[in-house]
Structure 1
Amino acid sequence: MGEVVDREVSAAVTELGADELRQWAYRCVDGLTDRREEINELNVFPIPDSDTGTNLVFTVRSAVECMRSAGPHADLAAVAASLARGAVAGARGNSGVIVSQLMRALAEECRSGRLDGPGVARVLGRASNLVGEVVSVPVEGTIVTVLAVAADAATESAGSDLAAVVLRASESAAVALDRTRSQLSVLDAAGVVDAGALGLVVMLDCFSAVVTGTLPTRPRYHRTIVASNPTKFRSVTEGEHHHRGASSIGGYEVLYGLTDIGEDDVVALRSALSELGDSTVVAGDGAGSWSVHVHTANAGLAVEVGLAVGRVHGIRIDALSTMDCVDGPATAVNADGHGRDILAVVAGDGAEQLYVSEGAAVLRCDTRRIGTSELCDAILRAEHPEVLVLPNGALSAQELVSVSIASRTAGKDVLMLPSSSMVQGLAALAVHDPTRAAVDDAFAMSEAAAGTRWASLRITDERSLTWVGMCEPGNGLGLAGREVVVIGQDVLAAGRALLDQLLSVGGEMVTMLHGESVAGQPDPADVAEGLSVYIADRHPGIEVVVYTGGQPGDVVQLGVE
């Protein structure tokens, strides 16, 4: 893109009012939504979980919803304050929390009732300082770096009019975005710029468009892993990201809101969370509400340290996906010196990654038919004599008995575990211990699977009669096991009713596995997000874990433990 060049800009807009700020917020939602998939594709740091674009969209949408609640006649200060409040409350991921601090800085500046060129420079400078305070370990070549560059450029132009300051900041940020590729080796290895930084550039460009009337033209970015060295990305990723408990073994991204906490407690909380994991951010809206974010292997303890210093709400726990998994079964040696394999039948790319990351070999039942012969062949190809099978409801009990007999006849010691769904299979894998005797390990895994109540959400495509009444095309269906128990006007309504039924008899954790996107239907990730919010509001204290499954048919699979 080259160096920053000052352009001739119109000085007609010298200050921003409430209407212009609203316009900027709406433009940010549109701009981030338009480039969400592109940003997701670029997301390789700090965790390659491909959700930065989605996180930014959710964060800014939350800010806009709060802004709307302030009413159409709210003044500049009230609009800015509501944006900050909504962004902090709805912040998702590292980048979302950082963007919430930009909103907070904006709210602080707008208390004076005006926002001009020098004011914008102060906003960016304050935002950069806030981010430096709330991010536990700032890393060069990320959104933090690009925000600092934009702040410096705006400060240098603070004596100019509003349009010149805003344009200078956005142009400098765009140049800094291109530089991130060479500043962070994991980005260079993947051939990408920083995903969060691109989101920030989109937001600054939207600001420029509101002020100047012209949206800057920017290039589209794509991931370009070097084909001649396919292991380069993987090896650098493993060496660069430093998330204790969230690197090669998975882990969790923990987010929650916090109130009734003093400034000293914030410092102590940030320190305690940094001991538990990485990517620690504790950010406030300037009005007493805080957003907490950390990557850790101990999600429960991360919530507990928050409970010890304030009032926790809106808990969200997502499993972190990793890119350093290998296709193959678990091969640890048990107490008797025998190796053991885990074989699971799954559907969906995301589900396959989850199971492989837990050490299981997988058979995909959505890409080819899996019957008795296919399952038996896979068992016989397993490396070790002992094989634990998670059928996950793909075959009938009679078919599984047939496979067991044939496999044992061929010399395999096979144990079929009673998992009727992928969420039950995941619960079983969570307690798998390859050092135990096979029969003991199978018992513990079977108990975990049986202790997980499972359900699913679907969208009906035709009019039909169920046990609970007639459903119409487009209705949401809630199934407990394999029986329809809820019909909703849409899938989200059905999901809420289904959760109320499942949680009416208790539960401590809800696991969600959202399916593949289908054109013309609600995005399964959005459905899972809506259900997570509903659980936080209506069933506080319930832990929520969300995975990307990519399975066809079920919009969301649910497991309650």
Structure 2
Amino acid sequence: MLEALDAGEVRRWAAACVESLDAHRALIDRINVFPVADGDTGSNLLHTLRAALEALLRAPSADRSTAGAALTVLAKGAVTGARGNSGVIASQLLRGMAEAAWSAPVVDAGVLAAALAQGSRRAHAAVSEPAPGTMLTVLAAAARGSGDSLHDVALNAARAAAAALDETPAQLPVLAEAGVVDAGGRGVVVLLDALVAVIAGEPVSTTAARVDGVPRPPDTAVVAAREGGSELYGYEVMYLLEDASAESADRLRRALEDLGDSVSVAGDGDALWTVHVHCNDIGGAIEAGIDAGRPRRIRVARFADAVPDGPARYVRERAVVAPVRGDDLADLFLAEGVAVLRVDDGLPPTPYELLQVITGTGAAHVTVLPGHPDLTATADEAAARAVAAGQDVVVVPCASPVQALAALAVHDPRRRAGDDVVAMAEAAAATRRGEVVVADADAITWIGPCAQGDVLGFADGEVVLIEPGPATPDAVSRAAVGVVDRMLAAGGELVTALLGASAPDTLADALAEHLRLTRPEADLAVHRAGQGDAVLVLGLE
């Protein structure tokens, strides 16, 4: 039995929350009936906690060395990745816990009790019109738990939350009428049960057998397109808000309350806020954010566009989806009929963002071309979520946009879906890849040390040459032809060159002239792609 949570135990709790929410997601989604029936609460909580865990796993070890620091990273990740009202409330629970424990190397009984209390206060403050019998009610009950040991505090909080959850139908007639407890409150109990299990050193129970606090038939849930709010409002608007003071956030909250409902403006304590509102005036909601700070990651959903369950939700048979770096390259994919997610060089997409593109195709079968090693895991997770919802999605392994283009070149929607995927995968695997990049720091490579500003040539993911900096047009051209020569040494007929945003104007001509003199049998296809992470991307078929 643990007497205190250190940074490692905080991480284990976050992972246990994700594991348990993943198991309970579907049934939590099914019992969401307040204020209108919905199918997203479990999914939104899972997405939010998964974003928090990912932030913690990616953070430098120095930033998560204590329990308080780890909770702070979790809270910031949750605020950034919050989805829906329930996700915003969960992010504020973590923020309050982090504030209470920020200076603590470990979380003991006293710190945990204070953390739960502060988390409840933060969650209440984030909601413009709290209602009894909801997630906030369950959090408030958990915050009143106490005890002499860490386990006692957590266990009493979980028991108090479960008791409050069972009372929610008496507080909200719509819950009693449907024969269910509050979905968000059930999510809170899942999080606290996971905490008790981690402290006790027991495996996290992921059984989803009793999600309802009140028995009911399993098929009575009505799935709609919103998580809370009046049906008078047709749109959900969410965005992150940077560079905003607390006073500006308060003004924004009041402005959004005049525009709609389900308003929440919740911060991470460091001038970053997540904003949520249901409204009809999309422009007004965004303009209010511009007045308060700097909005980004703006997401707008129209409830009327919600896709129904079952085969009827698919409007076409096949689609191809690709996350793409570089506006010009995105245009190239779009011209081929691909549904594109535009990816910023310094801001990788979340699985949820890619999932929106996948489901937005309305296709029964979707092939995803990640086109970069860093995007493969994101594509796999987004595909898994889409498959769980009934869509047939396959990720074709491709570690470079040239491999994605090669797969796209053989795509034939007239073939059987399985045969088409095999053909695309074979084309991608048969395409060798190369890159020319400028080193942004001193480093040690497989072929020796490089200095910042040197030009590096890669073939199939390995450094094969180093051209001393600075990265002049001549240096870049020498590196480019050097990589091409090494790749062609094993044979090949078609060289594809994708020019990055920083590629010199002379690079394409230099490649063409070199191939004309040394490899006249090889064809060259050059495209202005505009990617920022590589001066040049090469493909060889």
**TM-score bracket for this pair, using the shorter chain length:** 0.5 to 0.7
2:244 is matched with which residue: 261, 266, 270? 261
Alignment of 1:45-64 (within 5 A): 45-64=34-53
Displacement, 1:190?
1.5
Deviations for 1:72-113, whole angstroms, at most 9, x for unmatched residues? 453123211110110001110011000001111121122222
Alignment of 1:301-316 (within 5 A): 301-316=284-299
Contact 1:244 1:296 survives alignment (8 Å): no
* Letter of the structure 1 residue corresponding to residue 24 of structure 2: R
* TM value normalised by structure 1: 0.55
* Letter of the structure 1 residue corresponding to residue 254 of structure 2: S
What residue is the counterpart of 2:171 in the other structure? 183
**1:282/1:515 Cα in 2 relative to 1: closer, same or farther (>3 Å)?**
farther
**1:100 matches 2:100:** no
Displacement, 1:197?
0.9
What residue is the counterpart of 1:440 in the other structure? none
1:112 is matched with which residue: 103, 115, 119? 103
* Letter of the structure 1 residue corresponding to residue 296 of structure 2: H
Q: Distance in 1 between matches of 2:360 and 2:208?
A: 37
Q: Distance in 1 between matches of 2:343 and 2:253?
A: 37
What residue is the counterpart of 2:65 in the other structure? 75
* Letter of the structure 1 residue corresponding to residue 188 of structure 2: L
Count of residues in Structure 1 that have an aligned counterpart in Structure 2: 350
Q: Distance in 1 between matches of 2:55 and 2:13?
A: 15
What residue is the counterpart of 1:147 in the other structure? 139
What residue is the counterpart of 1:243 in the other structure? 230
* Letter of the structure 1 residue corresponding to residue 275 of structure 2: V
What residue is the counterpart of 1:161 in the other structure? 149
Q: Distance in 2 between matches of 1:92 and 1:124?
A: 21
Question: What is the SS of the residue equivalent to 1:45?
Answer: coil
Displacement, 1:300?
2.4
Question: What is the SS of the residue equivalent to 1:291?
Answer: strand
* Letter of the structure 1 residue corresponding to residue 288 of structure 2: V
Displacement, 1:496?
3.2
**1:523/1:219 Cα in 2 relative to 1: closer, same or farther (>3 Å)?**
closer
* Letter of the structure 2 residue corresponding to residue 286 of structure 1: G
**1:212 matches 2:203:** no
Alignment of 1:26-425 (within 5 A): 26-72=15-61, 74-76=64-66, 77-113=68-104, 114-152=106-144, 154=145, 157-158=146-147, 160-214=148-202, 215=204, 220-221=210-211, 243=230, 245-246=232-233, 251-320=234-303, 349-350=308-309
What residue is the counterpart of 2:360 in the other structure? 512
Contact 1:456 1:479 survives alignment (8 Å): no
1:496 is matched with which residue: 341, 346, 367? 341
What residue is the counterpart of 1:397 in the other structure? none
Q: Distance in 1 between matches of 2:217 and 2:46?
A: 30
What residue is the counterpart of 2:386 in the other structure? 524
* Alignment gaps of 5+ in structure 2: 323-331, 346-355, 367-379, 392-416, 418-541
Displacement, 1:261?
1.1
**1:172/1:322 Cα in 2 relative to 1: closer, same or farther (>3 Å)?**
farther
Q: Distance in 2 between matches of 1:257 and 1:99?
A: 16
* Letter of the structure 2 residue corresponding to residue 512 of structure 1: G
Contact 2:316 2:363 survives alignment (8 Å): no
Q: Distance in 1 between matches of 2:139 and 2:292?
A: 31
* Letter of the structure 2 residue corresponding to residue 275 of structure 1: D
Q: Distance in 2 between matches of 1:517 and 1:185?
A: 41
RMSD of aligned Cα (Å): 4.0
**1:151/1:319 Cα in 2 relative to 1: closer, same or farther (>3 Å)?**
same
Alignment of 1:15-30 (within 5 A): 15-30=4-19
Q: Distance in 2 between matches of 1:365 and 1:60?
A: 28
* TM value normalised by structure 2: 0.57
Contact 1:14 1:163 survives alignment (8 Å): yes
* Letter of the structure 2 residue corresponding to residue 305 of structure 1: A
Aligned residues with identical type, % of pairs: 39
Q: Distance in 2 between matches of 1:365 and 1:302?
A: 30
Displacement, 1:32?
0.5
Displacement, 1:46?
3.0
Question: What is the SS of the residue equivalent to 2:238?
Answer: strand
Alignment of 1:430-509 (within 5 A): 456-457=319-320, 484-485=336-337, 495-496=340-341
Q: Distance in 1 between matches of 2:385 and 2:99?
A: 36
* Letter of the structure 1 residue corresponding to residue 258 of structure 2: E
Displacement, 1:268?
1.1
Contact 1:43 1:50 survives alignment (8 Å): yes
* Letter of the structure 2 residue corresponding to residue 140 of structure 1: P
Contact 1:244 1:297 survives alignment (8 Å): no
Question: What is the SS of the residue equivalent to 1:308?
Answer: helix
Question: What is the SS of the residue equivalent to 2:130?
Answer: coil
Displacement, 1:164?
0.5
Question: What is the SS of the residue equivalent to 1:13?
Answer: coil
Displacement, 1:43?
1.4
Q: Distance in 1 between matches of 2:313 and 2:30?
A: 26
* Alignment gaps of 5+ in structure 1: 1-11, 324-347, 353-363, 367-391, 395-454, 460-477, 487-493, 501-508, 529-552, 554-561
* Letter of the structure 2 residue corresponding to residue 94 of structure 1: N
Question: What is the SS of the residue equivalent to 2:341?
Answer: helix
* Letter of the structure 2 residue corresponding to residue 127 of structure 1: G
Q: Distance in 2 between matches of 1:299 and 1:291?
A: 16
Question: What is the SS of the residue equivalent to 1:138?
Answer: coil
Q: Distance in 2 between matches of 1:67 and 1:365?
A: 36
**1:137/1:169 Cα in 2 relative to 1: closer, same or farther (>3 Å)?**
same
* Letter of the structure 1 residue corresponding to residue 60 of structure 2: G
Displacement, 1:350?
4.9
Q: Distance in 2 between matches of 1:314 and 1:525?
A: 25
**1:48/1:244 Cα in 2 relative to 1: closer, same or farther (>3 Å)?**
closer
